[in-house]
Structure formats: C-alpha cells, structure tokens
Structure 1
Amino acid sequence: MKTVTMADVAKHANVSKSTISQYLNKRFDYMSEDTKNRIEETIRFLDYRPNILARSLKQKSTTTIGVIVANILHTFSSQIIRTVEDVCNETDFHVMVCNADDDPVKEKKYIEMLRAKQVDGIILLPTGINVELYKEMALNKYPVVFVDRTVPGVQIPSVLLDNEKAGEIAVQHFINNGFERIGIITNIIKNVTPRKERVKGYKEALLKNGFAIRDEYIKNLEVSNVQKGLEEMMALPEPPQAILAGNDLVLIEILKHIKKQNIRIPNDLAVVGIDEVSFSTFYEPGLTIIEQPAIEIGKKAAELLLNKIQTKDFESETAVYRYDPKMVVRESSNRIMSDEESQKLT
C-alpha cells in the first residue's frame, strides 16, 4: 500500500501542508475548531502516521532520551526509571531503557547505540570504567547526567544519596540500641561510589563512638556469595550482634540465610538495610530501612538533562547533588533485652 504523506492529508482536508504541520506540533492558536476537527477526521480516515525520522532531522531533536541503569533488579533502579519516565512524559519526551549489568562493555555498547540512534541525551548510572568515553561526551557537550555515582575527573553532573551519612546513621542506630558488635556486607563493584561511601560511613560511626574497626565484620562480596559470607561471620568466636546490608539485593540474601538457619531477628541478629524493599512493612519482624529519596533523585536528574537539551546550558557540569537518607525504624533493629537485663531495670 502507498504510504500516506502530509501532502495527502492536506489535500484531503483542503488545507495547506503548513496547517497540517501546525496541527501535528499542537500549535492551535490561529486554528478554528472546524479546521482541527477536519484534520483529525482526515488523519483517522487515511490512517496517517507522521514520519518521526523526518521530523527529527528537521527539528534536530528526536525528543528521546536514554536511561542506562547499572542493574535493573535493584528497587532503586526501577524507581529512577519510573520517575524519569513520568517527568519526560510531561514534556513529550520518550525514554529508552538499557540494563548494563554493571558491565563496562555492555555500558559502552549501549552508550554508542543510543548516540547512533540520536537520542537527545542520556541519564547514566555509570560503571565508572569507561572514563575516556565519559570525558569525550563531556568535552563534546553531549547532554549526560550521572545518577547514584560519581566518576573522579569527569565533568558531568551527578545526583545521588549522601551514602556516608546512610552508613553512619545505621551504625549509630545500632549503637543507640545497645549493640556493640556490628557488621556490614556489601556487594563490591570496582569504582562504584555508594559501596565505598557506605562502608566509609560505617567505619566513621564506629570510630566516633570509640569502637574498633574489625575487618572480620566487613565483607564486600558478589551477591551470590553473601549467604556464605554471613555464615562465616556468624561462625566467628564473637559473631556480630547486628548487620547492615549495603543494598536491597544484599538484604534479600541475608534474609534468605537467616530463614535457612532459623536465626531470630532481632534476638540473635539485628538487621538494617539500605534501599527500600517492597516487603519491608509486612516482613516479620518489620525491617528497618535506610531509604533513598529515589523520586527526588530521579526527578532532579531528568530536569537537569532536559534543561541541558532544551537550553544547551552546560555551566553546571561539575555539580554534585546529594540527598539525605531517611531511616524508617521497625522491629528488626530493636534490641531485645534478656530477662536478667530487664530485672536490672525494674
């Protein structure tokens, strides 16, 4: 079948091509209701589909952005994607989502693919490895915004959590509840900001309170090894009384091991997780969580990118926007006193 063109629509509706163009671009200021209705009926009757590629070439914009997440399984990544999509929908931008699996090779391929498809900009949760590629995009003023991570020496704005503070408030909460032996498990990925900063905050909180840093209570593991790592930690002569899960995937593995071994929370092991999980409120006991304001972070990232695309403003290239974590306290981190301790207080 012959492709229906704008000229065909204009002829059928008895208007000019420029009037059709104005209609398609929603410029109705000087267009009568009768003309709008006639064009709409003609488009439906002829089953006209605008040539998006041709329009993009003419306007020098595809009204599309790319979002490359490090691992789409993270709750945080899903929240970022949803928020960015909501913001873009309000401005008639489209979103293409890619999952890099924290693999710099996949990340590089996705960046090159998105740029080849001429997306107007990219929101990126960077692996931190493709430094020269990041620098090239910044040098050529290609619109990019980092989320969740920073990359030293790269002049691209970043929007992320105050991760050190997240580690600190979790440890301080444990200490305030009387716990002395406190561990942390994260899944280590080279050059990833949150993992390093959360461990740093954990250490600083211990030192501020006069506690020694015990290396056997700190484990940086692949997610698949988290359960084994916790088993080793709990087999120590002095096992931890409390454990901080560095992110949602680590928390899930910790809870799996706890269930297998019939470990009681918080009697045998108190638990706090960083990053919200959907089941935190109805898990028994309720899980204490350090929440990231993912909606605020995603909204800020989308607004920064769209501003760069629409205004070509690159003056704030080095800005880093950090957001405060929020602790939601539930039963998993509250110390259960022994009968002897209870009697001393009565």
Structure 2
Amino acid sequence: MPRPPARPRLTILDVARDAGVSKTSVSRYFGPERSLLSESMRTRIEASISRLGFYPDRIASSLRGRRTGLIGMLVADMRNPFTVAMIHGAEQACRARGYSLVVCNTDSDDLLEQRHLDVLQGYNVEGLVVNTRGHSVAPLVARFEAGLPMVMVDRHLPGLACDMVGLDNAQAMHLAMTHLAEQGYRKVLMVTPPIPGISSREERTACFESEALLSGLESELFEVDLDNEPARLGERLAGWLDEAPACRGAILTGNGVVNLAVCQALHQLMPAPLERTGLLGIDELEWCALVGPGISTVEQPVGAMGEEAIIRLLTRIEGDAEAPVHRTFEATLNVRGSTARVD
C-alpha cells in the first residue's frame, strides 16, 4: 500500500492566520521580543500553536540571518547541587525573556567539553554561560574573540576577558570565621576539593587562611579528591575527632559536595560525631537542617547568580561593549546546632 503523501510543514504564517494575528507577532512570540505582546495575543498564539501542533525550525531561522533564541551552557558536573540551582535560576531567566537554555554537562572531561562546545556553536547559540574546570581555555578564548558572547559563573579563566558572576569569597569567609571565633572555636580544619586552576577555590582558601589570622584561629587546609582518593578523607577525620575536643575544633567544608562527604564519613566513624567537633558548610542544602542538631551553613544565592549570568549575557548579545563586569553576591549565615558554642 503506497505511503500517503507527507503533509507540508507548517509555517509561522499558518499560525498567524489561525490566530488572526500578524506574522510579525508570531515571530516575536518565539523570540526575545515576546514581552512586547499583550497577554491576550500571547494566549491566542499559544492556542493556535497547540491546535496546529506547530514548532519553529530554529536552525532554518538562523540560516536566514535571524536569531535562534538559544542560549548555551557548559557545566563541569551536573550532579553538583550548586550547578542544579544555578541552572534553575538561569533557565527561569531565559524563559521569562523568550529564550531557551541548552545545557551540556562535560563531566570535567576536556575532550567532551570541546565536543559540546562544537555542538552548541553548530546550533548557533546566541551566547554561552560557562561553569567548567577551565583546563581547556584556548577553544573558549577563540570563540569569544570571534564574537560569541560569554559569561563565566563562579570562576574566571586567564585570557578570557568576559563577564563573571560569583560569590564574594572574602565576605563569605569573613562571615564563617567570625562566627566560629565568636562561638569559642580555636582551630578550624577546612576540607576542600582540589584547588589548582579553579579561581573560586583559590580565592576561598586564601581568604580562609587570612581570616584565620585576623580572628586568632589556628587553621589547617585539607585538600582531597573525593572521586579518586575517598579513603583519605575518612583517615583525616578519624584523627580529627581525636584532636577536636582538646583544641576546640570545627570543620569548614568548601562546598556542598564536600559537606555531604564529610557528614557521611563522620557518621561512619562514630555516633553523634557533632558532639566532638563543630561543622560549618559552604552551600545551603535541604538536608542540612535534618542531620543531627542541624548543620550551620554559609549560603550562596545560587539561583540569583544563574539569573544574573543570563542578564549579563543578554546585555552583551544586545551589543553592550563595555569593559568586563565582575558581579559578586554576598553570602548569608544559617546558624544551627553544629556550631553550638564551646567553652
């Protein structure tokens, strides 16, 4: 039996006729100018799109010299709670402004990062948000210098003179160390992921050490690769639980992933470990209020960072050529039982 002839592809003009609006209005609906349409017009266009089963051909639009309405994002680890919250903030900002966000996870693999970068550019993304390890800078620099707008989140890369959005690490560390000193702690062990090449970790650990001096606290920095040497963490924490009561010790974790690993290791070593050591984590996660007496945290406004990254990027897409802007956000302190006062 012969196959029935394929239906001709629907066009924006078909949607416009069905909705009783102009072709220009439908084009605006699918682009960054959606906010110019009245609510009633958007509702009519949405109803026609649903009724007809229409979807725009983004690639064809870009080949005709029109904007695609696509924003790309490269992230190092999609499992990281920081990344999840940042993506959510960025996606909401894109949606509100008529853009779609295309996220690629590199798994901290430089070759995969290069492949994703090629794919995103093949789809003619209008701009790129980057939160990767930064071990492969040259391809990013080449595309940025060729005219692709970029914004970095939580770090900056040497040679890439683009906007950056992140935490005010000096303020965050001051908040953390001042709190621990006021609670009577005298020694702080900071547990951090590998530092070299990650500017935010370099800044955070440098501020940790300087704030320890200012607060009169003894400090120790413990760097651990949780993917490749998890046993080292348990070994160091076992020794720390012996030391902590005598030195009035507290642990400061460098991010949410480390905070979870430290909590798991401590509870494997003994019941009620937070009776022997203080614990303060960078990043506020839902489970922090549920563990033991509750874990105190220094909270980053990660969703707002993701939103700001998109706002900065759209400013560049619209042609803003001012010098690179570094937008930092202040942290807030959530005090719980894990940093109860010690005497």
When the two structures are superposed, what TM-score results if normalisation uses the length of structure 1? 0.83
2:333 corresponding residue in structure 1: 327
Match of 1:140 among 146, 161, 186: 146
2:222 corresponding residue in structure 1: 219
Match of 1:274 among 282, 303, 321: 282
1:4 corresponding residue in structure 2: 9
Query: Cα offset for 1:180?
Result: 1.3
| Deviation per residue, 1:71-109 (Å, 9 max, x gap) | 112211111111111111111100111112223222222
**After the TM superposition, which residues 85-234 of structure 1 pair with which residues of structure 2 at under 5 Å, given as runs?**
85-213=91-219, 217-224=220-227, 225-226=229-230, 228-234=232-238
AA partner of residue 267 (structure 2): K
Distance 1:21 1:267 in 2: 66
**After the TM superposition, which residues 227-306 of structure 1 pair with which residues of structure 2 at under 5 Å, given as runs?**
228-235=232-239, 239-240=243-244, 241-306=249-314
Distance 2:65 2:126 in 1: 12
Aligned length: 327
CA RMSD of aligned residues (A): 3.3
Distance 2:308 2:105 in 1: 21
AA partner of residue 264 (structure 1): A
In 1, are the aligned partners of 2:77 and 2:105 still within 8 Å (CA)?
Answer: yes
| Deviation per residue, 1:162-201 (Å, 9 max, x gap) | 1233233222222221111210111115311222222111
1:205–1:46 Cα change, 3 Å? closer
Distance 2:269 2:88 in 1: 36
AA partner of residue 290 (structure 2): F
1:314 corresponding residue in structure 2: 321
1:93–1:116 Cα change, 3 Å? same
* Unpaired stretches in structure 1, ≥5 consecutive residues: 338-346
1:170–1:57 Cα change, 3 Å? same
| Deviation per residue, 1:258-296 (Å, 9 max, x gap) | 111125343201100001111112222111000101122
Which protein shows a greater Rg? 1
In 2, are the aligned partners of 1:146 and 1:158 still within 8 Å (CA)?
Answer: yes
1:98–1:266 Cα change, 3 Å? same
Distance 1:127 1:109 in 2: 15
1:81–1:237 Cα change, 3 Å? closer
1:8–1:168 Cα change, 3 Å? closer
Distance 1:44 1:170 in 2: 51
SS at structure 1 position matched to 2:292: coil
Distance 1:8 1:142 in 2: 31
Distance 1:7 1:90 in 2: 21
Distance 2:15 2:301 in 1: 49
Distance 1:7 1:238 in 2: 70
> Structure 1 stretch 62-71 or stretch 166-175: which is displaced more?
166-175
2:58 corresponding residue in structure 1: 52
> Structure 1 stretch 250-259 or stretch 229-238: which is displaced more?
229-238
AA partner of residue 151 (structure 2): V
Query: Cα offset for 1:203?
Result: 0.7
* Unpaired stretches in structure 2, ≥5 consecutive residues: 1-5
